[in-house]
């Protein structure tokens, strides 16, 4: 895996890199935990060990830890092979073998211990987060910011993403994510890079590309204030579109259920 640089630098893209300097050990551990559960269930199904493998796995993890350790021993060689050959050496293969939701959750759980998703540490991310919250009239706890540089999502054009919580039509808490690709590159070059990744088996999860004119970010400069305002508007529009889409999907699912009954 990459050797991450924890030095805090002022450049906008470098800030993203700093915030996204995910603890390498913890990141791999979270991936291994996801894969361990998947392989354990696969092993239980293959050996017809129980009627409900998922429930059985949850039970032995809590109540029969020695049994769980024995099960881990049975899948340890396959786990090591996957981590070394697919997670570390070929990220594209790994991305096809784990769901998008799991990949996002791994990133969310792999941040540094001092990380606060509702209060980004550097000026650029903090200003962007605060402006979005203020413009939406939301609470700071409604919006989370997660950097993903150096992770598998980075190979999907995601330098960072926002996670916005809202109440759906049933008054239940739900969320949408907006994925950011932040760059000082040109649109032409970005498209070329994306095409090359696609040829190599990659995919793009980018929702919006934020183009910056200069690398050093000074929050006091009027043009940077305007840049943050424009970026915020684009992200807010996407949040609204995604919420509307999710609400419509839930509505259609409810209609289908009603037809069945």
Enumerate residues 6+ apart whose C-beta is below 8 A from 12: 124, 182, 184, 212, 215, 216, 217
- Neighbouring CB atoms inside 10 A of 28's CB total 17
Counting every residue, how long is the chain? 261
At residue 216's C-alpha, the angle toward residues 108 and 129, to 5°, is 35
Which residue positions in the chain have pLDDT lower than 70? 1-27, 87-97, 185-187, 189-191, 193-202, 260-261
Q: What integer pLDDT is reported at residue 18 of this predicted model?
A: 39
Tell me which DSSP letter residue 219 carries: T
How far apart CA 13 and CA 212 sit, in angstroms, is 9
Residue pLDDT, tens place only, 178-224: 999 888 766 676 667 666 666 655 677 889 988 887 777 888 999 99
What pLDDT, on the 0 to 100 scale, is given for residue 88? 62
Output the pLDDT for position 92.
Answer: 63
Taking CA 18 as the corner, what is the angle to CA 203 and CA 216, rounded to the nearest 5 degrees? 100
Give the Cβ contact number of residue 67 at 10 Å. Answer: 13
Report whether 240 contacts 161 (CB < 8 A).
no
Looking at residue 17, what is its pLDDT?
A: 43
What is the C-alpha to C-alpha distance for residues 96 and 152, in angstroms, rounded to an integer?
Answer: 11
Contact 161/178 with Cβ under 8 angstroms? Answer: yes
Chain position carrying tokens 């598998």: 152
Tell me what pLDDT residue 112 has.
76
DSSP letter at 88?
I
Threshold 0.85, pTM exceeds: no
pLDDT recorded at residue 199: 64
């Amino acid at each position: 895996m990459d050797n991450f640089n924890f030095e805090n630098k002022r450049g906008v893209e470098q800030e993203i890199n700093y915030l996204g300097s995910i603890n390498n050990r913890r990141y791999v551990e979270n991936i291994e935990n996801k894969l361990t559960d998947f392989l354990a269930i696969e092993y239980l199904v293959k050996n017809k060990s129980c009627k409900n493998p998922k429930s059985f796995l949850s039970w032995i993890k809590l109540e029969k830890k020695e049994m769980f350790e024995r099960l881990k021993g049975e899948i340890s060689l396959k786990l090591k092979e996957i981590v070394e050959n697919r997670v570390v050496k070929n990220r594209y293969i790994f991305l096809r073998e784990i769901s998008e939701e799991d990949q996002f959750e791994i990133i969310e759980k792999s941040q540094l211990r001092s990380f606060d998703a509702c209060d980004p540490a550097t000026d650029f991310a903090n200003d962007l987060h605060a402006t979005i919250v203020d413009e939406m009239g939301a609470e700071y706890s409604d919006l989370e910011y997660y950097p993903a540089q150096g992770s598998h999502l980075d190979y999907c054009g995601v330098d960072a993403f926002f996670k916005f919580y809202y109440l759906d039509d049933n008054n239940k808490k739900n969320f949408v994510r907006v994925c950011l690709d932040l760059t000082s590159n040109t649109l032409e070059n970005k498209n070329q890079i994306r095409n090359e990744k696609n040829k190599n088996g990659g995919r793009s999860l980018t929702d919006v590309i934020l183009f910056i004119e200069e690398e050093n970010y000074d929050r006091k400069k009027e043009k940077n204030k305007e840049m943050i305002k424009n970026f915020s508007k684009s992200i807010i529009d996407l949040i609204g579109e995604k919420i509307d889409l999710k609400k419509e999907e839930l509505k259609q699912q409810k209609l289908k259920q009603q037809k069945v009954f």
